Structures are given as structure tokens and as C-alpha cells.
Amino acid sequence: MNAELRNYAIVTGNYWAFTLTDGALRMLVVLHFHQLGYTPLEIAMLFLFYEVFGIVTNAVGGWLAARIGVNRTMQMGTGLQIVALGMLLAPTAWLTVPYVMAAQALSGIAKDLNKMSAKSSVKLVAGEGSLFKWVAILTGSKNALKGVGFFLGGLLLAVLGFHGALWTLIGLLVVGLAVTLTLPGGLGMVKGKPKFTQVFSNTPAINWLSGARFFLFGARDVWFVVGLPVYLSAVLGWGFAEVGGFLALWVIGYGIVQAATPGLWRRPGHSPGRGAVVAGALTLAFIPGAMAGALGAGLDPATVVIGGLLLFGVLFALNSSVHSYLILAYAEGDKVAMKVGFYYMANAGGRLAGTVLSGWAYQVWGLEGCLVASSLLLLGAAALSLKLPVSAGEVRRA
């Protein structure tokens, strides 16, 4: 195995281990604190800082990685996740809402440090010709494993209990952390000491792509985070296990499509560019709009929602995979961590905005309102994508 492939395997392996624990931890927190008598609003509040700190972490993390190397920020992220899991081993009397919110804030910081580091590392160890394939595999496998993590969290809670599950996840992360210590030092460091203001991109293509990413992920979460699970439970009458299992399978399938995107690309030898993301966003915008119309017309809600969700998942995965490739293709070689951090800061902002808007839109207009909002956000993503260069090569030449 050559050095580049070995480093890619290490980065991917640690990212897989982290993703399993991240998905499992979310399920553990929801189920365990539901058992402890927390209200749904209190449980939702536990994840507020997880999302908020994602925005901050991606900005600071990219700058930090440029100064100390992405291998170090990856190790920091894995270590912080171990600390977050350890905090939840405290006696039950300590597990107040503020305490658990603090643990989840650490977990959110850890997740985005790890993700930013892993995505940046791919750019540094992959050749240009294989970048689309390698980043698609990393991103797709991560999302599939997050769905597996949902199952793992429920299984560990049932078999080992809350503390036993946490110790198991800590052990998995310790192994992942130990393996990353063999990565070359200073991976992704920028010569000199970059200023924090350099985090904010002066590359127009990256700014437009980041704006499109904000709208893209806001469009997903505006109906997926709150509206959809509440609708499946309250309107379709599904049990909690059915809702959780279905959404976990959706995430797994979403990840598989992401990983397979390069193989589905119809122009082998030609990497996707502006045309792919504009057409993808416009096509995707049609689906939630059509679903809202079908529900308003009184068509069978189960057929509309399940069928629409599956189609949306496939097309969203293709769009997201192309986006993940383009940010790495646009980023300069020695500043990749800062540019990726800026981009995923926009991603985290879109998730947060979509989550808040999802609850408000569902409360005021129901699922149809969430779906219309999703279509409008996707049209916004398409409009911003029109500003992108035709191909990534134009950015490099500039």
C-alpha cells in the first residue's frame, strides 16, 4: 500500500469510527433522556448548542488546522468526543439540561473538527484525477454509517444500558485516535502563520458555493428535522421505533447514493461543475413543491410522503456529493483547511436555520408549509450556483 492510500485509509477509518459514535450518541441521548422523563422540548434543547457550535468550530477549526495541521485537529476532535461521552457517565442527578447541553456542545465541536479535518485531508492525499471518487466515498460512507449509528445506539442501550453503551463508544474512539497518531505531522499546515481574517474566503467561487450550500442544507432540514418525524408520528400514526428505523434507513441509503455518485456521473473523465449543481438544485426544488401540491389536493399522504422522501433523498445525495467535490476542487492546496472550514460553517448555518424554520413552519402551516419553504430555499441555491465558474479548472487558472 502506498503512502497516500495508507493515509487515506487512516483518515477514513477514524472518520468512520467517529461517525458511528456520533449517530449512536444522538440516539442514546434521545431515548435515555426520554426514559428519564425529559419533555420533547427539553430533549430538543439538548442539541441546540451542538448545532450552534458547529458554525463557530468550522471557522476557528479551519484557521487552527492551517497553523497546526489537519492531523492534529482531527485528533483534537476525536479527543473532545471522548470527553463528551465521559461527561455523560456522571451520576443521573448531574444530568440536568444545562449539563447535558454542555456535553453536546463539546460533541458538536468534536464532530465539526473531525469532519473538516477528514474532508481537508482527502484533498491533501488524493490526486486531482481521483478527487471526485475519493471524496464521494468518504462522504457517502460517513452518512451511511451515521444511519448504522442510530441502530447501534438503540442496540447498545438495550443490551448494555446507558453507561455500558458509553464505555463501548469510548473504546471505539480510543482505537481510532491511536491509529491517527501514525499520520504524517503537519499535514495541511500553511507556511507562515495565517491570520484569522484569512478564514473568510476571497475566492468568489468558494463564497458562491458556500452560499448555495447554506440554502441546500436549509432546504433539507426545514422539513426533515422536525416536520417530517412529527408528521409521520402524529398524522400517519407511526410508532417511535418505526419513525426512527425509517429515518435511519433513509440516511443509510442517502450515504450509499453519495458514495456511488462518481460511478453514476454520465461524463467519465469530465468532473462536474456549474451545470450539474444548477440543474440538480432546480430538479430537487420540484419535488417538495409537488409533494405540497399533492397533499393539498388530498392524495394519500403515506404514498406522497414516503415516495417523495425517497426521490428527494436520491437527488439530494447526488447534489451534496457534487458540492463536496467542488469545495475541494476550488480550494488552494495549502489553504484547503481554512476554505473547507468556511464552507462547512455555511453548511452548519444552513442546518441551524433549517432546524429552527422547520419547527416554526410546521406549527403555523403544517408539513405543506415546510415543503414549500424547502422548494424556495432550493431555488435560492440554484440562483447562487449560477455565479459559479463553468468548471473547477477556471478557479485554478485564475
Block residue for cell numbers 473547477? 392
Full pLDDT tens readout for the chain, 398 residues: 566 667 777 777 888 888 888 888 877 877 777 778 776 567 666 777 777 887 788 777 767 767 777 778 888 889 999 999 999 999 888 888 888 888 888 988 898 888 777 777 666 665 555 677 777 777 777 778 887 887 788 788 888 888 999 999 999 999 989 888 887 766 655 555 555 555 556 678 888 999 999 999 999 988 887 788 888 878 898 876 677 678 788 888 888 888 888 777 656 556 677 888 999 999 999 999 999 999 999 999 999 999 999 999 999 999 988 898 888 888 765 567 677 778 888 888 898 888 778 878 888 888 999 999 999 999 999 999 999 988 766 655 55
Let me know: does 82 contact 22? Beta carbons within 8 Å: no
What domains does the chain contain, in order, with CATH numbers?
1-199 (1.20.1250.20), 200-398 (1.20.1250.20)
Position 183: which residue type? L
Measured CA to CA, the distance from residue 354 to residue 239 in angstroms comes to 25
Residue 333 class from Cβ within 10 Å (0-12 exposed, 13-18 middle, 19+ buried)?
exposed
pLDDT tens sequence across 133-184: 777 777 777 778 887 887 788 788 888 888 999 999 999 999 989 888 887 7
pLDDT tens sequence across 307-330: 999 999 999 999 988 898 888 888
Measured CA to CA, the distance from residue 73 to residue 59 in angstroms comes to 13
CA distances from 248 to 14, 40, 106, 147, 152 (A): 21, 19, 24, 4, 11
Residue 151 class from Cβ within 10 Å (0-12 exposed, 13-18 middle, 19+ buried)?
middle
